[in-house]
């Protein structure tokens, strides 16, 4: 607001300077020059009369009469030179009138034709949660009166982002043919359906997901969800294939790419260690396994994961919570992983070597670890934008009473 007002003031001042410059020119020089010329002429005429009187060319009576006439004319000319002064005073009054009228007129026109409310700092502030909810409610009301596919797309995505999954599913169902032609929309729809089914992709969620992959075989979101679906049904070979396909289209040297590389390597090692057999898929809620001898010797980490009240509205009871230990200085491959649901929060966890994802990466082999937690609405093992996250301070294996607060949203 301050910058706009300053710029407007500078423009008004510049305009006034240009307009008032001719009005403020002083007439004194011209007036003075005219008076001096007239006085010189009259002096010459008086001198000539005096010479004529001395020479006897005119009588004393005629000389007196002519001299009186010259004096009268001089007085008349001097009075006439006062007119520019009067005009100057009028010009000054006009100048002051312009100084007042131009700024006030400009402000009045802006107030009538412009947008004065845009100068209010409150208008430019980021929308609050209440404002967002009101905008979504207004959009829903408009869609009821005037249904429009594009409006239902916005509405469905808004409900999905807000965690209002029943409303999101209903909005997706009302998009119409546009939904069937967009792979990303279909993937988002499948995500909503699976999340409402507690992470189960069987049935309609998988049908919708397959339709998305048919339209766009390399759609990142569809590939990620397909990998999660395969992993959940114990089809680890298919999960690895989907992850590798996704890895080829992700930018290298990103957290997502590194996570996928580690997940693929871990899954291959698990399958090889089981002689090619498929390891059991993680359940929705995993309780701590019985501590091994190494864990009992002080290589476990225990504590509690809780959710910040400010984020409670963003989750559903069936959302998946991943709890894992990482080496803060080494690979991003988790040293131990535990899985539960939002409904179990606050959750007392205990991580040890029995929960390792790789025989070469265990808690017992780390000098220090950081405990992290992530809430995934889709149950997807791949971190995604919008996931809720939290992390503890760095601790040593054997630590107990470690608190992890989920209080951030993954960008």
DSSP class per residue in 303-335: EEEEE-GGGGGG--TT-EEEEEEE-TTS-SS-S
Task: Please report whether residue 127 resides in a domain.
Answer: no
Using the predicted structure, report yes or no on whether residue 210 has a pLDDT greater than 90: yes
Indicate if 11 and 83 belong to the same structural domain. Answer: yes
Indicate if 266 and 303 belong to the same structural domain. Answer: no
| Tens-digit pLDDT profile for residues 76-102 | 666 555 555 555 566 667 666 766 777
Residue 311: give its domain's CATH number.
Answer: 2.60.40.1120
Indicate if 146 and 263 belong to the same structural domain. Answer: yes
Tokens 């207004």: give the residue. Answer: 138
pLDDT at 88: 59
Indicate if 99 and 153 belong to the same structural domain. Answer: no
Indicate if 113 and 160 belong to the same structural domain. Answer: no
Using the predicted structure, report yes or no on whether residue 327 has a pLDDT greater than 50: yes
pLDDT at 389: 92
Task: Please report whether residue 13 resides in a domain.
Answer: yes
- What percent of the chain shows pLDDT beyond 70? 70
Q: How confident is the model at residue 113 (pLDDT cuts 50, 70, 90)?
A: low
Q: What mean pLDDT is predicted for residues 142-160?
A: 88
Q: How confident is the model at residue 340 (pLDDT cuts 50, 70, 90)?
A: confident
Domain boundary among 67, 87, 119: 119
User: How far, in Å, CA of 223 to CA of 1, rounded?
Assistant: 47
Q: Domain tally for the chain? A: 3
Task: Please report whether residue 126 resides in a domain.
Answer: no
Higher pLDDT among residues 28 and 227, named by residue: 227
The CB density around residue 302, as the number of other CB atoms within 10 Å, is: 17
355 neighbors 300 (Cβ within 8 angstroms): no
265 neighbors 333 (Cβ within 8 angstroms): yes
196 neighbors 166 (Cβ within 8 angstroms): yes
pLDDT at 55: 75
Q: Half-sphere exposure (CA, 13 Å, Cβ side) for 1?
A: 11
- pTM, to two decimals: 0.44
Indicate if 108 and 153 belong to the same structural domain. Answer: no
Q: Which two tokens stand for residue 400?
A: 């107990």
Task: Please report whether residue 280 resides in a domain.
Answer: no
Using the predicted structure, report yes or no on whether residue 153 has a pLDDT greater than 80: yes
Task: Please report whether residue 212 resides in a domain.
Answer: yes
Higher pLDDT among residues 87 and 201, named by residue: 201
Higher pLDDT among residues 298 and 35, named by residue: 35
Indicate if 237 and 334 belong to the same structural domain. Answer: no
312 neighbors 360 (Cβ within 8 angstroms): no
Task: Please report whether residue 268 resides in a domain.
Answer: yes
Indicate if 82 and 11 belong to the same structural domain. Answer: yes
User: How far, in Å, CA of 354 to CA of 295, rounded?
Assistant: 8
| Tens-digit pLDDT profile for residues 243-271 | 899 888 888 777 778 878 888 888 887 67
User: How far, in Å, CA of 244 to CA of 230, rounded?
Assistant: 13
3-state DSSP assignment of residue 67: helix
Higher pLDDT among residues 378 and 25, named by residue: 378
Indicate if 299 and 257 belong to the same structural domain. Answer: no
Q: What mean pLDDT is predicted for residues 145-157?
A: 89
Residue 152: give its domain's CATH number.
Answer: 1.25.40.10
Indicate if 111 and 167 belong to the same structural domain. Answer: no
| Tens-digit pLDDT profile for residues 368-390 | 899 999 998 777 666 778 889 99
Higher pLDDT among residues 39 and 126, named by residue: 39
pLDDT at 123: 46
pLDDT at 37: 62
Burial level of 57, CB count in 10 A (0-12/13-18/19+)?
Answer: exposed
Number of helices (H) and strands (E) in the chain: give both, helices first: 14, 8
Indicate if 115 and 153 belong to the same structural domain. Answer: no
1 neighbors 9 (Cβ within 8 angstroms): no
pLDDT at 35: 58
Task: Please report whether residue 134 resides in a domain.
Answer: no
Indicate if 150 and 189 belong to the same structural domain. Answer: yes
Higher pLDDT among residues 372 and 292, named by residue: 372
Domain boundary among 273, 307, 330: 273
pLDDT at 284: 34
Task: Please report whether residue 288 resides in a domain.
Answer: no
How remote is the C-alpha of 296 from its chain's centroid? 49
Strands laid side by side in the 301-307 sheet: 347-351, 301-307, 402-406
Tell me the residue range of the domain where 21 lies: 2-25+34-119
Strands laid side by side in the 408-409 sheet: 336-341, 320-326, 370-376, 388-391, 408-409
């Amino acid at each position: 607001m301050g910058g706009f007002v300053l710029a407007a003031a500078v423009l008004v001042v510049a305009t006034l300077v240009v307009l008032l410059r001719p009005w403020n020119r002083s007439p004194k020089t011209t007036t003075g020059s005219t008076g001096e010329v007239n006085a010189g002429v009259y002096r010459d005429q008086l001198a000539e009369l005096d010479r004529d009187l001395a020479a006897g060319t005119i009588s004393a009576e005629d000389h007196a009469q002519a001299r009186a006439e010259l004096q009268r004319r001089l007085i008349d000319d001097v009075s006439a030179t006062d007119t520019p002064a009067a005009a100057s005073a009028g010009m000054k009054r006009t100048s002051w009138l312009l100084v007042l009228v131009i700024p006030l007129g400009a402000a009045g026109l802006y107030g009538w034709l412009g947008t004065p409310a845009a100068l209010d700092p409150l208008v430019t502030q980021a929308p609050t949660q209440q404002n967002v909810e009101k905008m979504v409610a207004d959009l829903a009301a408009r869609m009821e009166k005037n249904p429009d596919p594009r409006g239902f797309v916005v509405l469905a995505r808004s409900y999905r982002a807000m965690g209002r999954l029943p409303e999101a599913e209903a909005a997706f169902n009302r998009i119409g043919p546009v939904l069937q032609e967009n792979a990303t929309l279909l993937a988002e729809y499948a995500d909503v359906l699976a999340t409402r089914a507690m992470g189960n992709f069987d049935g309609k969620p998988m049908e919708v997901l397959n339709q998305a992959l048919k339209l766009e075989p390399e759609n990142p979101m569809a590939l990620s969800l397909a990998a999660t679906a395969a992993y959940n049904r114990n089809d680890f070979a298919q999960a690895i294939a989907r992850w590798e396909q996704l890895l080829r289209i992700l930018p290298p040297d990103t957290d997502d790419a590194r996570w996928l590389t580690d997940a693929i390597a871990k899954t291959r090692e698990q399958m090889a260690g089981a002689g090619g057999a498929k390891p059991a898929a993680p359940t929705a809620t995993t309780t701590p396994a019985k501590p091994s001898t190494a864990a009992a010797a002080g290589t476990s980490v225990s504590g509690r994961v809780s959710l910040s009240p400010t984020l409670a509205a963003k989750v559903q009871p069936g959302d998946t919570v991943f709890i894992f230990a990482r080496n803060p200085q080494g690979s991003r491959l988790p040293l131990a992983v535990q899985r539960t649901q939002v409904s179990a929060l606050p959750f007392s966890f205990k991580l040890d070597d029995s929960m390792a994802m790789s025989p070469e990466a265990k808690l017992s082999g780390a000098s220090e670890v950081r405990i992290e937690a992530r809430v995934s609405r889709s149950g997807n093992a791949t971190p995604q934008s919008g996931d809720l996250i939290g992390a503890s301070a760095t601790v040593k294996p054997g630590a107990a009473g470690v608190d992890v607060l989920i209080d951030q949203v993954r960008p």
